[in-house]
Chains A and B, each alone.
Chain A
Amino acid sequence: MNQGANTQTVAPLDPNSMENRYGVDGNQPQISSYQYSTGSDGTSWTSHQPVENGNYSNSNYYHPQPTGPGTGNVQEMPNTASFTSSSASGTANVAQDYSGYTPYQTPSDPHNYSNTGYSNYYSGYQQQPSQQSYPQPAGTYQNTGAPYQPLSSFQNPGSYAGTASYSGTYYNPADYQTTGGYQSTNYNNQTAGGYPSTNYSNQTPASNQGNYTDYTSNPYQNYTPDAANTPTSTIATTTPVHYQQNYQQWPDYYSQTEVPCAPGTEKSSVASAYSQSFPVPAVTSEMPASNGQPVPSYAQPWRQETGSSQPAPSQQPGVAGSTSNDAYWMHQTSTVQAHYPVPPQNHYQSPLETKPLYETPFQGHQRATYPQELNSQSSIHQAPLGYRQPTQTTPSVDTQRVSKLQIPTNPRIASNLPSGFTKMDKDSSAAGATQRPAYVSVSMPKPKDHTTAMPDPGALPKSLRGFVERAFARCKDDKEKASCQAALREIIIKAKEDKTLCTRDWDTEPLSSVLYTDVTSTESSSTLISSLQNKSPTRRPKSRWEPLTEAKPFVKSPPTFSTGVKFGGWNHQNENNKKSSESFPKVDAVTGFKPSYAGQNSAKKNFQRPVKRQRFSGGAATAIDDEASSDSDKELTPYYSSAMTLASSAEEKKRRDSRSKRFEKVQGHSRGNNLHKPKNANVGNLHSRRSPALRLSRDFDESGNRAVEDIDWDALTVKGTCQEIEKRYLRLTSAPDPSTVRPEDVLEKALLMVQDSQKNYLYKCDQLKSIRQDLTVQRIHNHLTAKVYETHARLALEAGDLPEYNQCLSQLKILYAEGIEGCSLEFAAYSLLYITLHSNNNRELLSSMSRLSEEAKKDEAVRHALSVRAAVTSGNYVMFFRLYKTAPNMNSCLMDLYVEKMRYKAVTFMSRSCRPTIPVSYLVQVLGFASASTEGSGGKEIDGMEECSEWLKAHGAALIADSNGDMLLDTKASATSLFMPEPEDAVAHGDRNLDVNDFFTSSRTL
């Protein structure tokens, strides 16, 4: 109830608070910050910033979010930017803003956190912030730096000391992706990677996406080093000492938190869907950890960051950022820790079970926490608060509108921000891909990573990869990365749905959408979850199938598509991460504090990210899994490569070159990549195999409440693209691949081909079955379908393949019942004959006879069938064989199967009734041995004679020759000696024409 109340209350509160905050922040700090960032980053940033600023500065910022998810994403981007900028710009501004926010916070807090503990936290936070002020933050940052080192020692050392280690960690995450260990690992990595922004971005990707592992590993690894390098150079060195002391304590927490995280992730993974579940678990674990040991959870990220910063000087830049972040973190941790713990607990505990609840609580918490943070630490916290608040607002919006709106919004955003996007792309390419590089000038290493990543993937458009890279490059924190991943996923899924995946200009796609989504996702983890649930159903159903068809051309196979979709989500997150990272660099450039904010954001995001992941996991967990399973590297690389190709500008080329160089330099990463790849490949295979089923299952999972009949089968229908006329039948074990399904016009040709074919029945049957399959898969129900089934039924009759005939007939009955004009009377006759001659079911015969219309009874075939029935029921063999000779259509084929019985019956009758003899010539004539040939022709007569006498002998009849040498049937002798011989060539399917040898030979020739 509290949560629910909170959500409601929060929504209103947030907008107001958000507006206020934003207004404050946006007005001064944001702009300034943007400018700063732009200055530091370059033109690309400026472009981004403007967009962001506009969003941020505008009270609309929040409002837009509500309107659409896309806007929310955009907002997020701005928010992050604004935050960073605000932090960078000046503590004073931030403080003011925050002060303004504080009131909001308090109200929001009560609503959100009914618990007194929260209020206490809030108060404490507020006080602390005020006291700490900027100087303190700086100190805190330094302190954080120290602790970070120890923490970093865990993962950081590897990452920093050797990129390989990071890559290894990342790879592990990749492996874990499916298991869910990723988040924890990611976090570790992230923290270790220390750096906050880069690490986070990397981490988030890794954690979020098993698929992305390559991406994450490559880009992130690159990024982390870069970021580390850039920030550390200036700030990190100084800060570390202070932090170390503070953080030393943290290590313990870290260790503790880490452990819990892993279990949590596992649990979460189990609970949630595939890959998505993993992220969620990680989040949950983290959250619990934060709850139980609120400080630790924060501490971990912080520590790791610090550690990363400390261990490697090169990383130090990152450290600097991290330190600033750490400072933020510290504040957050100190104040926030308490706060967070509580909020997380509320959120996570409840959220885990019920997502909706989570969402609301999270929002509330987030909001509450934000206010608190803002209040407590005006400058430092302000940024976080501002972020959180925005995010909160976005979450709320998301929760309300997210699912449906986000998708549409993204396009809008893109349209709105094209210029910005291009810039963004550039940034991302430069700053984003090597986001930090741009900041630090270490951008080179990142490019390498990107380049490496680029080559690997082949499925996704290069531009999309570039987009993803950019997004991740901007991610400041793990949280951001996570959110970015989520956002990317969504975007890509949307793109797939829209079928614009390949067509869209990802180079110009605005990252703002991704970033926004990140913020929203991270901060409003609970909301995100809900939003994800909401969104996932709407988006995914489309994405699964529609994307598939569209995606296939792009990606080679359905699995790739799925991965692409998933990756898209990841890409978003990556983008977010990139953005965040970018923002961090910017902050770093401007001031150390800004990074700290970013770090805070990241930290928050980290916590929130899990939530985001959860969301994804809930809805897109399967998708994520698939993505993860599918080789993220390969798939992503295509995107990247496409992005690269698309980005034909000289800058892009330069960046690529620089990236490639970096890549070469980063051996550790490469190793990590190698390690990851095999694992990924395996996973990918599994996923790819499962992918279709998964999609379906996902649909169900996602929709949850959705009934099967609610599924939009039209959306799932495959549209074939195969132009091959000939196609072997293969029973589908997975969702059909449009590239192997023939469209209707080709099927028509195929049918003609089969009809004209001189090959044997087995070949035709195989071809017809494949045609039927393609028809079924494409849900074609028209005259062609009827024609195919009729053709197959006739061929089956011709070959005596009754099982196949029955299959066709049952389908034909359905088709005729639907009013499709076919040869319904012809098949009514077949049906009658079949019942009469083979099923021997009086009730069935009666009902089928009573169903015959007057019109049907006038039909020649039907009349013939009725006559045959009368002949059979009365045992009139003369009539039967006359009808046999005059049978229209394929009636004689069905009668063929009864000829043996009828002849035996006739001979039995005659040998019992006739005395003393019957000439065989008479039997030949009466029992149809002469076939339809003219009885006058002697040769045939003789053939018939021989055939008849052979038949009679085979059935034990006694034959004698009279004085003229004519063969006579000795009826008296035969009466007791007749028997029905065991069919020597009996085959299970009832037709010796279909014996095994024939089957093998024919199948070989097919």
Chain B
Amino acid sequence: MAYVSMGEAHRRITEYMNRFCDAVSYQDSSTLCRLLSFSSNSPPLLSLADALNVFQDASSLIRQSDKFSEHGEILAHLFRSLQSYRVGNLVEAYLAFEKFANAFVQEFRNWESAWALEALYVVCYEVRILAEKADKELTSNGKSPEKLKAAGSLLMKVFGVLAGKGPKRVGALYVTCQLFKTYFKLGTVNLCRSVIRSIETARIFDFEEFPRRDRVTYMYYTGRLEVFNENFLAADTKLSYALQYCNPNRERNIRMILKYLIPVKLSLGIIPKDELLRNYNLHEYIKVVQALKKGDLRLLRHALQEHEDRFLRSGVYLVLEKLELQVYQRLMKKIYIIQKQTDPARAHQLKLEVIAKTLRWLEMDMDLDEVECIMTILIYKNLVKGYLAHKSKVVVLSKQDPFPKLNGKPVGS
């Protein structure tokens, strides 16, 4: 930490307060954002933090001027938070920032126009980020992390401020997205429901009027929720919307969307191009897609096993696992095609023996009962048309379109 003289510290603090008060009085949101953005680690803020550490009694400076003391509470908490943040005491920094945020939101509530929305966004973002950092610190100290939860309730409060009618409603979706991030991180996604209801049932405000970035984020998270519920059609809609409106330059965001959209599309029978997977660094899906194309059950299982942790964490494991039936279907189709080439007359009769033999080649050791069971399921799920003659151990395929394509419909429907 560079040495800062008392006078310099005094100057920096006073300058900051001047800028803050000017920003508020001129309703200069962008300046205010810069003044509040901790996580940007901007040089001015860092130097201010150093100055605050030198000049301990910033509150006396706040009291010196009426202009400053008007925002005295906000500034005092902000300074304390910045000071703690600078010295690495993140828990303290969060606590002070939470107080600052409360004071700021209170002030924001009093401003009639929504000029400070951007600043509020920054505050919401910083609260969440600080809470996450503080939780990390708490965890490393062996204490129970609880700051993110507190941040969640604070954000909920902010959402309440914005969710009503009026110009400030535009900001509600941003806060909703911050809430999503918080809840997903906490694993309390069921708390999202109330927020979603509030957003989707409000007829007074068209969803399209929200900022695009917020809409994309919102759709991404709600799409993820649908994936968990295995509601593939809805998930496809939402994630596709997100992909459609996502800034094409934000590759990371696109990748995040694709991470969920691809499994959804796969389970709807839609297979992505390899380019897409490669372009967006989604290699974990390459083998899965190949298995689907080839009907290679072994490959699918290997792929799932290989990336099990990742798929489990992202929550697509079960979705991908269900692709197995499609792989079976592909396999049956291959057998059917081969039979058609060799013996067109009896091509529509798939002997369970043959299937079991095929599976053995794939190192899937199954007896006839199991094969029969799988065929039963395939027929039942309408992946195979036909019937199974139990007595003769033969699957009799329909002569018309024995392997219907999903065509965007989920399996079993």
Which positions in A face B, CB cutoff 8 Å? Answer: 842-843, 845-847, 849-850, 870, 873-879, 906, 908-910, 912-919, 922, 925-926
Which of B10-18, B156-164, B317-325, B402-410 lines the interface with chain A? B317-325
Q: Tell me which residues across on chain B come within 8 A of A849, comparing CB atoms.
A: 312, 317
The yes or no answer to B202 lying at the interface (CB within 8 A) is no
Q: Tell me which residues across on chain A come within 8 A of B229, comparing CB atoms.
A: 842
Tell me how far the C-beta of A884 lies from the nearest C-beta in chain B, rounded to whole angstroms: 14
Q: How far is the CA of A273 from the CA of B255 in the complex (A)?
A: 67
Q: How far is the CA of A919 from the CA of B229 in the complex (A)?
A: 38
- Asked whether, in the complex, the Cβ of A912 is within 8 Å of the Cβ of B379, the reply is yes
Q: How far is the CA of A986 from the CA of B313 in the complex (A)?
A: 38
- Asked whether, in the complex, the Cβ of B377 is within 8 Å of the Cβ of A879, the reply is no
| Chain B window 306-320, contacts with chain A (Cβ cutoff 8 Å), 1 for yes, 0 for no | 000100110101100
Q: Tell me which residues across on chain A come within 8 A of B396, comparing CB atoms.
A: 915
| Other-chain contact of A842, B318, B388, B390 (Cβ < 8 Å) | B318
A-B contact pairs, 30 of them (CB 8 A): A842-B230, A843-B228, A845-B318, A846-B317, A850-B309, A873-B318, A873-B321, A874-B325, A875-B377, A876-B370, A876-B373, A876-B374, A879-B370, A906-B373, A909-B376, A909-B377, A909-B379, A910-B388, A910-B390, A912-B379, A913-B376, A913-B379, A913-B380, A913-B388, A914-B387, A914-B388, A915-B389, A915-B396, A917-B390, A922-B390
Residue of B nearest to A880 (CB): B373
- Asked whether, in the complex, the Cβ of B370 is within 8 Å of the Cβ of A878, the reply is yes
Among B229, B376, B387, max chain A CB count under 10 A is at B376
Q: How far is the CA of A48 from the CA of B83 in the complex (A)?
A: 68
17 further interface pairs, Cβ-Cβ under 8 Å (given A909-B373, A914-B376): A842-B228, A842-B230, A843-B189, A846-B315, A846-B318, A847-B187, A849-B312, A870-B321, A873-B322, A874-B377, A909-B380, A913-B387, A914-B390, A915-B387, A915-B396, A917-B390, A926-B373
Q: Tell me which residues across on chain A come within 8 A of B262, comparing CB atoms.
A: none
| Chain B window 361-386, contacts with chain A (Cβ cutoff 8 Å), 1 for yes, 0 for no | 00000000110111111111000000
Q: Given A842-B230, A879-B373, A926-B369, is A914 in contact with B317 using a C-beta cutoff of 8 Å?
A: no
Interface residue tally for chain B (C-beta within 8 Å): 32
Q: Tell me which residues across on chain B come within 8 A of A917, comparing CB atoms.
A: 390-391
Q: How far is the CA of A285 from the CA of B372 in the complex (A)?
A: 93
- Asked whether, in the complex, the Cβ of B373 is within 8 Å of the Cβ of A878, the reply is yes
Among A876, A913, A916, max chain B CB count under 10 A is at A913
Residue of B nearest to A852 (CB): B312
Tell me how far the C-beta of B45 lies from the nearest C-beta in chain A, rounded to whole angstroms: 38
Tell me how far the C-beta of A840 lies from the nearest C-beta in chain B, rounded to whole angstroms: 11
Q: How far is the CA of A42 from the CA of B389 in the complex (A)?
A: 116
Q: Given A846-B318, A917-B390, is A874 in contact with B187 using a C-beta cutoff of 8 Å?
A: no
Q: How far is the CA of A916 from the CA of B392 in the complex (A)?
A: 11
Q: Tell me which residues across on chain B come within 8 A of A925, comparing CB atoms.
A: 369
Q: Tell me which residues across on chain B come within 8 A of A916, comparing CB atoms.
A: 389
| Other-chain contact of A874, B230, B315, B324, B379 (Cβ < 8 Å) | B324
Q: How far is the CA of A873 from the CA of B391 in the complex (A)?
A: 27
Q: Tell me which residues across on chain B come within 8 A of A909, comparing CB atoms.
A: 373, 376-377, 379-380
Q: How far is the CA of A925 from the CA of B367 in the complex (A)?
A: 14
Q: Tell me which residues across on chain A come within 8 A of B370, comparing CB atoms.
A: 876, 878-879
Which positions in B face A, CB cutoff 8 Å? Answer: 187, 189, 228-230, 309, 312-313, 315, 317-318, 321-322, 324-325, 369-370, 372-380, 387-391, 396
Residue of B nearest to A915 (CB): B387
Among A878, A922, A925, max chain B CB count under 10 A is at A878
Q: Tell me which residues across on chain A come within 8 A of B313, comparing CB atoms.
A: 850
Tell me how far the C-beta of B270 lies from the nearest C-beta in chain A, rounded to whole angstroms: 21
Tell me how far the C-beta of B413 lies from the nearest C-beta in chain A, rounded to whole angstroms: 15
Tell me how far the C-beta of B186 lies from the nearest C-beta in chain A, rounded to whole angstroms: 12
Q: How far is the CA of A875 from the CA of B321 in the complex (A)?
A: 12
Q: How far is the CA of A849 from the CA of B230 in the complex (A)?
A: 17
Residue of A nearest to B315 (CB): A846
Q: Tell me which residues across on chain A come within 8 A of B378, comparing CB atoms.
A: 913
Q: How far is the CA of A925 from the CA of B372 in the complex (A)?
A: 14
Q: Tell me which residues across on chain A come within 8 A of B379, comparing CB atoms.
A: 909, 912-913
Residue of B nearest to A876 (CB): B373
Q: How far is the CA of A879 from the CA of B374 in the complex (A)?
A: 10
Residue of B nearest to A912 (CB): B380
Q: Given A847-B187, A909-B380, is A877 in contact with B373 using a C-beta cutoff of 8 Å?
A: yes
Q: How far is the CA of A847 from the CA of B309 in the complex (A)?
A: 10
Q: Tell me which residues across on chain B come within 8 A of A850, comparing CB atoms.
A: 309, 312-313
Q: How far is the CA of A160 from the CA of B222 in the complex (A)?
A: 88
Tell me how far the C-beta of B371 lies from the nearest C-beta in chain A, rounded to whole angstroms: 9
Q: How far is the CA of A845 from the CA of B370 in the complex (A)?
A: 25
Residue of A nearest to B190 (CB): A843
Q: How far is the CA of A910 from the CA of B376 in the complex (A)?
A: 6
| Other-chain contact of A908, B189, B372, B380 (Cβ < 8 Å) | B380
Q: Tell me which residues across on chain A come within 8 A of B377, comparing CB atoms.
A: 874-876, 909, 913
Q: Tell me which residues across on chain A come within 8 A of B388, comparing CB atoms.
A: 910, 913-915
Q: How far is the CA of A938 from the CA of B322 in the complex (A)?
A: 39
Tell me how far the C-beta of B369 lies from the nearest C-beta in chain A, rounded to whole angstroms: 5
Residue of A nearest to B313 (CB): A850
Q: Tell me which residues across on chain A come within 8 A of B187, comparing CB atoms.
A: 847
Q: How far is the CA of A910 from the CA of B374 in the complex (A)?
A: 10
Q: Tell me which residues across on chain A come within 8 A of B230, comparing CB atoms.
A: 842
Q: Tell me which residues across on chain A come within 8 A of B228, comparing CB atoms.
A: 842-843
Q: Tell me which residues across on chain B come within 8 A of A875, comparing CB atoms.
A: 377
Q: How far is the CA of A132 from the CA of B230 in the complex (A)?
A: 101
Q: How far is the CA of A846 from the CA of B309 in the complex (A)?
A: 10
Q: Tell me which residues across on chain B come within 8 A of A919, comparing CB atoms.
A: 390
Residue of A nearest to B189 (CB): A843
Q: How far is the CA of A875 from the CA of B187 in the complex (A)?
A: 28
- Asked whether, in the complex, the Cβ of B189 is within 8 Å of the Cβ of A846, the reply is no
| Other-chain contact of A918, B312, B325, B374, B390 (Cβ < 8 Å) | B390
Q: Tell me which residues across on chain B come within 8 A of A878, comparing CB atoms.
A: 369-370, 372-373
Q: How far is the CA of A849 from the CA of B377 in the complex (A)?
A: 25
